[in-house]
Structure 1
Amino acid sequence: MTDPLPTLADIETAREALEGVAICTPMEESRWLSGIARGPVLLKAENLQRTGSFKIRGAYLRMSRLSAEERANGVVAASAGNHAQGVALAAQLLGIHSTVFMPEGAPIPKEKATRGYGAEVVFHGHSVDEALVRAKAFAAETGAVLIHPFDHADIVTGQGTCGLEILDQCPEARTVLVPTGGGGFLAGIATAIKQRQPDVRVVGVQAEGAAAYPGSLAQGHPVPLAAMSTMADGIAVGCPGEVPFRAIQQYVDEILTVSEESLSRALLMLLERAKLVVEPAGAAAVAAMLDDPERFETPAVAVLSGGNVDPLLLMRVMRHGMAAAGRYLSFKVRIPDLPGGLARLLGELAEAEANVLDVVHERTSTHLHLDEVEVALQVETRGPEHADRVLNRLRASGYYLSR
């Protein structure tokens, strides 16, 4: 027999259980997004939740309902980092031993934070799905209780408390966008919102390279992906969970996907304009807003699901985001192989107010004349319009350009 899905009453009860554990995270209007969408857009900052993501909500609720015998056997989880931290902190608060299996290459700050909350961390496999297989085997071997990252009614119920907060903080909301991996967060939020205000549109957002829900919904049941590739490790899940899948079928209006370029651009804009640090997965809802801002009825709420990002990844994503936003311009230009040739080119770029980041000379090429040299440049601009002005100025000055 299929277990019943959480109800609004279940989620309201869960909110009482989480009082003093999960904080009610802030929600603020984003003026720059509101301007683009031509209506109010608000950011629900779950990146400011304890452990840096929404995961403490479901993890604590699930573990608080374990029997004394189950608690004595400990718990085990599999996660790339956010669920790991939620489980580790919940276990620490409840006095339960926790073991967490993380995929090889999991972000170092997430690993260290998980250990810092007292969990035993074991690396296994190259994806959350592979780590989850090992965690299930560990549970069978030791009697530890598996705390699934999304596929359990208590997990969905706990995550749904965020949906209650969204309606309390923005009762006039018309659209709510939620980053989506396995579906527990989206399912919980959608259940809370649709059972209280069924006319609110709920949209899940997945990374294009790890979008298991569109195909699964089309088939009518969870279908695993053959492969995944995305920087958004927090939503890189290869197969929807059975429990959240049923709730999403019932309550979610639409699932959208966003590209890596859109994710990095959204992360960069959140840093620059909202002064908020989010991980790539946490920026998915904002990425969807930026892709097609007039698609969503306002007031709209974009949920920032997490902020646990490796500083090295953050630097790479920022560079990627700046390139996607037209802030980095790469091109090649032929100049005379004469003294002062490069100085004249750099002078033109200075006059155009472009900041040169990198210069590489190439003299040996069959497409160059004997008296020519090709220079590959990367320059920083203020955006696409400025980049076009830079290129047009160089062409007007007689330079031959290629990209």
Structure 2
Amino acid sequence: MGPLSGYRVIELAGLGPCPMAGMILADMGAEVICIDRGGNPPALYGQDISRRGKKSIVVNLKSEEGRKALMKLIASADVLIEGFRPGVTEKLGIGPEDCQAVNPALVYGRMTGWGQTGPLAQNAGHDINYISITGALHAIGVKGQKPVVPMNLVGDFGGGTMFLVSGVLAALLEAKNSGKGQVVDAAMVDGATNLMWMCHSFHASKMWDFNERGVNMLDGGAFYYDTYETKDGKYVAIGAIEPQFFMTLVEKGGLDPEIFNLETQNDMDQWEEKKAILTEVMKEKTRDEWCALLEHTDACFSPVLSAYEAFDYPHNQERDVYIELDGYKQPAPAPRFSRTKSEVAHGQRPSGHDTRVVLEDLGLSSDDIQTLIDQGAVQ
């Protein structure tokens, strides 16, 4: 039984960060009930890993009877999460005030890119847009070249999902003491900005240049913190920042101590020259040969793996970093708990799979449920 066993979460079906938040809460043991809108679930592909562990009911949110059924469910819940534009749930009659009128202790989690307020709040956007106004996108890339898109990890999931989950959990703790719920306004812009905290610290200490990318210690500017191609066309990652780790890299990697030494390690004027030299050195051996020399040392070295390779990597296998479910390998629940272990209850269920069971749990009779189905309020 996970640490959130006994909690009920209502998730209004959507895409991206909000569904991942629901997945994490379900992995932790919460009963997550996904409110679908009929037809196929809103997924970009056939297999949606984020729907694992969740129940699915189909409710017609534009039907008055459907809304009433949903409000009855909300009255029994601890959390509701949604990822619509600001004002959408209010128009549907299931906004925070509507829901907290029937459940004052409800934690209402809202996930958007721009936030609930501000001049951009009603604009469409995606991860790339949200992180572009935080300085994060500008900071990622090679010196003298255009910014590099970091997939949708920084805005959607790092700045979005994780802040929604932490906000919901904090609000649940507070509600346990006060008996009162509240709205959690999780915006990807806010989250991505917070992810930049270390860069801001370095900048305040005059150790980071906000105007340039690829010239700072942690953005690939430093020769000892970058990726390098190997003899076989693969890549390795080096992050030997601290003096003792840097010297391990030099000694175990057989690097020339006249060139690679502590006295000049952080001389930024020499970074490009040293990077060019190290680039050629790393091409002298294959990735596996470098792994044999450096992988199990404190050189802060690792191979750059494809997702396929990551499945079979010994460290990941020993820790069961991946699980297989519905015929697909996928990330195992995280983080790990010593006593109330997280687990995946089941795989993705078809849209509406649990409509009858959930409504029966609310006390509706078979006849009542059939009436709702006949009215088109639920499916």
Same fold flag (TM > 0.5):
no
Q: Compare the two structures and name the one with the higher helix fraction.
A: 1
Q: Compare the two structures and name the one with the higher strand fraction.
A: 1
Relative contact order, higher structure (CA 8 A, sep 6+): 2
TM-score after normalising by structure 2? 0.28
TM-score after normalising by structure 1? 0.27
